[in-house]
Homo-oligomer: A and B are copies of this chain.
Amino acid sequence: MPQDEYSLKHKLYVIIFRTDTPFGRWFDIGLILSILGSLLVLIMGSMESINEKYASSLQVLEILFTVLFTIEYLLRLYCSPKPWAYAKSFYGFVDLIAILPFYLALLIPNAHFLGVVRLLRIMRIFRILKLVQYIQDSNIIMRSLWNSRRKIFVFFSMVAILVTIFGALLYVIEGPDNGFTSIPTSIYWAIVTITTVGYGDISPVTTLGRAIASLTMLLGYSILAVPTGIITAEMSQEVKQQKKTYQNHRLLVMCPNCMKNDHEPDAFHCKHCGSELPSHEERVVKVNDTPSDYD
């Protein structure tokens, strides 16, 4: 049952959740600018040389942005036709954790810097700019990762077992005197080594330790190929499938409330939360063909 078209609640909904009215567009652009602004304030606040001079103004701005985002979140909850579906959706969750760090900072010092998670909200930018191709490509990447989640889990279980065993081995061989102060520290070393990061803050000194470390590296070297194999296989399948379903624009119809985008072309309501979907006129977005030439 559609809401009263002329109620304040519905007007707010159209402005905040949808992008097909001038007000809605301006709201989204203002939101993104606020997010970028608040990020800049956070980052500048963390730089001592800047913070020394402008500490008080930065703090005022930070409070201002947090109040703004808190009001926005409450408004979203108020005017959403399905508040719970919104709150549970990915963007609803991100909108919440974007304001929490500020209140957390009352308990833990510096915790407000975690407010950088509001960067995740910027992903809505794809919606505003109607960057359909980008959404599709991002869907391919996400779906590839999702489809290979079990293989990646199995792979990481293997890695976890390997780093624990090699970590303990080097703890026994090298010992606390050479920097391997405990098994957790040695596991940290093993992860740094097997992922080929190699800080060098902890590194083996004894000949036996170096031999085992070399083995760890060569092992890391060859298992590096496993996730690549997994994801490459998935991705080439996804690319093939994309080519097939390119015509029917299924991915382009996005629910403004929970932002899921897998609706049938003839759907009027979101199959996930039941909100109204954009009208047909609005939802048809011209898909730019991939140019076959690059200059």
Contact A113 B193 (CB under 8 A): no
The one of B110, B144, B187, B191 that contacts A229, using a Cβ cutoff of 8 Å: B144
Partner of A226, one of B143, B229, B231: B231
A29 to chain B, nearest CB (A): 18
Query: Number of A residues whose C-beta is below 8 Å from B?
Result: 101
Chain B residues lying within 8 Å of A183, measured Cβ to Cβ, are 42-43, 46-47, 113, 116
CA distance A69 to B110 in the complex (A): 47
Residues from 142 to 169 in A contacting B, C-beta threshold 8 Å: 142-147, 150-159, 161, 164-165, 167-169
Question: A276 on the interface (CB 8 Å rule)?
Answer: no
Task: Tell me which residues across on chain B come within 8 A of A169, comparing CB atoms.
Answer: 114
CB atoms of B154 and A137 under 8 A apart: yes
Choose among B108, B191, B193 the residue that contacts A218 (Cβ–Cβ < 8 A): B191
A239 to chain B, nearest CB (A): 5
Please tell me if A24 contacts chain B, counting CB pairs below 8 Å.
Answer: no
What is the CB-to-nearest-CB distance from A234 to chain B, in angstroms, rounded to a whole number?
7
A184 pairs with B207, CB closer than 8 A: yes
Give per-residue flags for A203-224: 1 if the beta carbon is below 8 A from chain B beta carbons, else 0: 1000100110110011011101
22 residue pairs bridging A and B, Cβ less than 8 Å apart: A42-B183, A46-B171, A114-B168, A114-B169, A115-B168, A116-B165, A116-B168, A122-B161, A134-B150, A134-B153, A137-B151, A141-B158, A156-B218, A191-B217, A195-B218, A197-B197, A199-B199, A199-B203, A200-B200, A224-B224, A229-B231, A232-B233
